[in-house]
Amino acid sequence: MATPEFQQTLGKTGGFSGTALHTGEKVSLKLHPAPVDHGIKFRRKDLQDEPTIDANIGNLKTVERATTIGEGPVRVHTVEHVLSALWAMGVDNAIVEMDANEPPIGDGSAQPYVDLIRKAGVTTQEEPRKFFDVRDTMHVESKTGALLVLLPDDKFRISCTQAGPNNQFTQFLSMEVTPAVFEREIAPARTFVYYEDVKPLMDKNLIKGGSLENAIVVRGDAVLSKEPLRFADEFVRHKILDIIGDLALVGRRIRGHAVAVKPGHAANAELARSITREQIRRSAVATPRAIPSGDAGLDTDEVMQILPHRFPFLMVDRIISFETETKCVGVKTVTINEPCFQRHFPGHPVMPGVMQVEAMAQVASILLFKLARTTSRIGYFMSADAVKFRKPVLPGDTIFIHAELTKSRGERLAKAKCHCVVNDAIVSEAELMFTFLDK
Ligand SMILES: [Zn+2]
């Protein structure tokens, strides 16, 4: 297990002013430090009561050309560059205060924000970071040809392929996203637009603040901008910048590899939404307890390293807490796919009581193996006393399996008092005795 990473915020408040892209008006932006578990919030200083908007995917409003979030009637547009900079530079908690509905566009990159964060400094806080670990490959596709695949990885990586109309300016770049890499390789990359896309907007006066000073304009084969390209592959770098900013709306650090082909805000946001849905599903499995990390619990892989049992006889999904050396709680989510339900009973599926006893025995053996610090032995069930089945367990239930070692004689014999809980009610209980023999 890696050492826990801690949440971070800004060392102090800092700010700068500039032009808003859409209105062309002057806007002042300030980044403030914020306490642990605050996340990133936008504050509209120009509105009465200074409302704040949580930078999370639930508040996503529109994704045309830029990412807009809102709560109630309040909106903040084009949040992706400032979010990208904060997230990639390691800031988990901050207030982004503005006196308009949009941050300053700066030079169209995340550079001004990185400079600001650098000046303010980044400080470590007392609480560990929250992560989303990709376990199964996830993917989203859009009608416009965008494809995003998220693969398991122990780091946060992005591999991106960008291609313009007729596969013009096709560029590919792959990297692990760290503050140093972001600052050097990604932050300076500017927004680019296609002339055909922006011409109608310019005609309608919808991008009053837009100019060749804050965007690269692509017209046919020509690349127009005030300053020459900062990288030969500046476009794909900016796409990566936008992906980071949009995925920041997940509100958790992602451990996974995002592989993106022709990404855009809509597809990025869709992936952020899928991640959040998966995260909610995972938390629901273990409610009301949070899934601990490190030595506080065991995930399925770790459980399987200890127990020799396999599907359908592995009756523990994970251990969610070790309360003391002799007490722990395991979790098993019961689904209709369990083979036992095919016969027990057709049309009226009830989990067999004996399988609950087996679940208790497995949780108790994990406790004992952990205490004895060996997995070279197998536990054999000797007796089950005072067994009571109080309520039926049905498909869809999550069973919390509590086990407490009450007696262990030498390293060979142990007794455990166990009970299973569903929806805060005890559904079964038993006192188990088992012996341990070498494999
Ligand atoms: Zn952008």
Tens digit of pLDDT for each residue in 247-270?
999 999 999 999 999 999 999 999
Which tens digits make up the pLDDT trace of 96-136? 999 999 999 999 999 999 999 999 999 999 999 999 989 88
Interval between CA 87 and ligand 1 midpoint (Å): 15
Interval between CA 186 and ligand 1 midpoint (Å): 11
Choice among 22, 77, 81, 265 that is catalytic: 265
Among 213, 220, 205, 187, smallest CA distance to 110 is for 187
Q: What average pLDDT does this structure show over 357-372?
A: 83
Percent of all residues in the chain with a pLDDT value above 70, rounded to a whole number: 94
State the pTM of this model.
Answer: 0.68
Check: CB of residue 420 under 8 Å from CB of residue 400.
yes
Interval between CA 354 and ligand 1 midpoint (Å): 58
Q: How many CA atoms lie within 13 A of 416 on its CB side?
A: 33
Interval between CA 108 and ligand 1 midpoint (Å): 7
Which tens digits make up the pLDDT trace of 285-305? 544 445 566 667 788 788 877
Q: Tell me if residue 419 is catalytic.
A: no
Mean pLDDT value across the chain: 89
Interval between CA 315 and ligand 1 midpoint (Å): 48
Q: Tell me if residue 344 is catalytic.
A: yes
Looking at residue 294, its pLDDT comes to 62
Interval between CA 333 and ligand 1 midpoint (Å): 42
In Å, what is the CA distance from 405 to each residue of 314, 366, 374, 418? Answer: 20, 11, 17, 9
Give me the DSSP letters along 114-145.
HHHHHHH-EEEEEEEPPEEE--S-EEEE-TTS
Would you say residue 22 has pLDDT above 80?
yes
Q: How many angstroms separate the CA atoms of 89 and 182, rounded?
A: 7
Q: What average pLDDT does this structure show over 20-43?
A: 95
Q: How many angstroms separate the CA atoms of 393 and 402, rounded?
A: 16
